[in-house]
Amino acid sequence: MSILAGFTTTQIQGLTTTTIGVLSTTDMRALVSTQLAALTTTQVAVLSSTQLAALTSTQMAALETTDLGVLTTTQLRGFGSTQLVGLTTTQLGTLTTTQLGGLTSTQVSGLTTTQVAALTTTQVEGFGTTQIAGLTSGQVAALSTTQLGALTTTQIGALSTAQIRGMETTDLAALTTTQIGGLTSTQLGALSSAQAAALETTDLGVLTTTQFAGLRSTQLGALTTTQIGALTTTQLSELNSTQSAALTSAQIAALTTTQIGALSSTAIGALATAQIRGMETTDLAALTTTQVAGLTSAQLGALT
């Protein structure tokens, strides 16, 4: 049994930093909440990562926010995931970006969704790409639209496909055009049909041809006619046969003559007869000679 068990809070505060520095892990675990709360910032500052690692989650909740503020990144890295979950949202909210930035990806992934949701936008911005990549899908889903809006394009680019799929449609819709522009074609290709349909028309408009080429046929088929109408001619010119074949008749009908004219002969040639019949007469009249030459006999027969 530790001799500290009988110490008053006054006696605890009277311990020198030298004495504090040699306390065993048994002594640390013996401290009750009132004793821990009585520790001064000077005393807390000299605790080793090993000593801090001995604290239970219950003891963690007793630490004063001012005490947490003096902890170095080395000391914080000594905490295990079970200890960090013992921190209240108030305690977690006092940690600086430097302190949070020093946590390992394993420590960050161990935070509860409640703790993650309570982080300030400044704290979220302070996470490195390794920490962002370490977030679980559940943690990403717990982030508010405001928190997600604070992520840099570098942080957005560090998200895995599993994390992207874990985002709510409202979260995706809230992303800025700059953030959407930072997504890779692989990340975009991971979106579900519902997520693709949630993208703002302005977001779709900023996609590069490389990003646009990453969209799967099921995603394109899920786009609304409003979204289809917002696609640029440059994007549409990159449609391959698989992508164009996935467009619905309603989507084809929503394309303007200018957009139709941007389709390659390969994309036109892949259209089903039902898609051809869905085209307006003005669209058909706007087809170039190259596009017409690419039509199959079955497609031509659908025009009669």
| Count of CA atoms in the C-beta half-sphere (13 A) of 275 | 19
Residue 276 has what pLDDT? Answer: 83
CA separation (Å) from 42 to 22, 58, 129? Answer: 15, 22, 33
Torsion angles phi and psi, residue 238, rounded to 5: -95, 0
Q: Which residue has the tokens 């992207």?
A: 164
When pLDDT is averaged across residues 204-221 and rounded to a whole number, the result is 91
220 in Cβ contact with 246 (< 8 Å):
yes
Torsion angles phi and psi, residue 144, rounded to 5: -80, 165
When pLDDT is averaged across residues 244-270 and rounded to a whole number, the result is 90
Does this model's pTM top 0.95? My answer is: no
DSSP 248: -
265 in Cβ contact with 293 (< 8 Å):
yes
Residue 172 has what pLDDT? Answer: 87
Residue 304 has what pLDDT? Answer: 67
Residue 80 has what pLDDT? Answer: 86
Residue 122: pLDDT over 90: yes
Residues in the chain: 304
